[in-house]
Amino acid sequence: MDTRERLIRSTQELLRERGYVGTSPKAIQQRAEAGQGSMYHHFRGKPGLALAAIRRNAEEVRARVDGHLSAPGTAVERITAYLRQERDVLGGCRVGRLAQDPEVIAEPGLREPLDETFDWLRRRLAEVLAEGKERGELAPDLDPVGTAAALAAVVQGGYVLARAAGSAEPFHRAVDGAVDLLTARTRA
């Protein structure tokens, strides 16, 4: 792994662990085993490196989610696979945690990849739900856009509840409830 990649990976980890303010250039350099000159050779300081790390987080999250949503199966099976995928629940969502960071949200350039990712997630879920309606798998009166927004909120809210409780149980209960509600909207 080259120095640039180590810097991005280290920044991804530190942003998740410490947030933007707690992620110092020195901490990034130490974790990446890179000198100050290397960091500034590849990036225009901490904001540029943070943006690269946030964009990478967003790309990786989208790829993982799309793997589930593009797989074979019914709409409910694919969405259930996404909801129940293996995750570090107590670590939180790599995108959602940053959306709770005041410094990231205050900077439009850093916030943009988060907005794009959540918009993409809601659109992608809505597409799968609309496809399920078209195939007759889901109730004809199901609102794909509203349901997609609710599913995204369940996941993000589940992370928050789990972190507050210090247990993954609230996350899993929220997901199970969402799956039950979605399954109740299937057509036999």
- Using DSSP's 3-state secondary structure scheme, residue 148 falls into helix
What's the pLDDT band for 40 if we cut at 50, 70, 90?
A: confident
The token pair at 180 is 């039950």
pLDDT at residue 188, as a whole number: 67
Rounded distance, CA 33 to CA 14, Å?
A: 14
> Is the CB of residue 113 less than 8 Å from the CB of residue 54?
yes
- 101-159 per-position pLDDT tens digit: 999 999 999 999 999 999 999 999 999 999 999 999 999 999 999 999 999 999 999 99
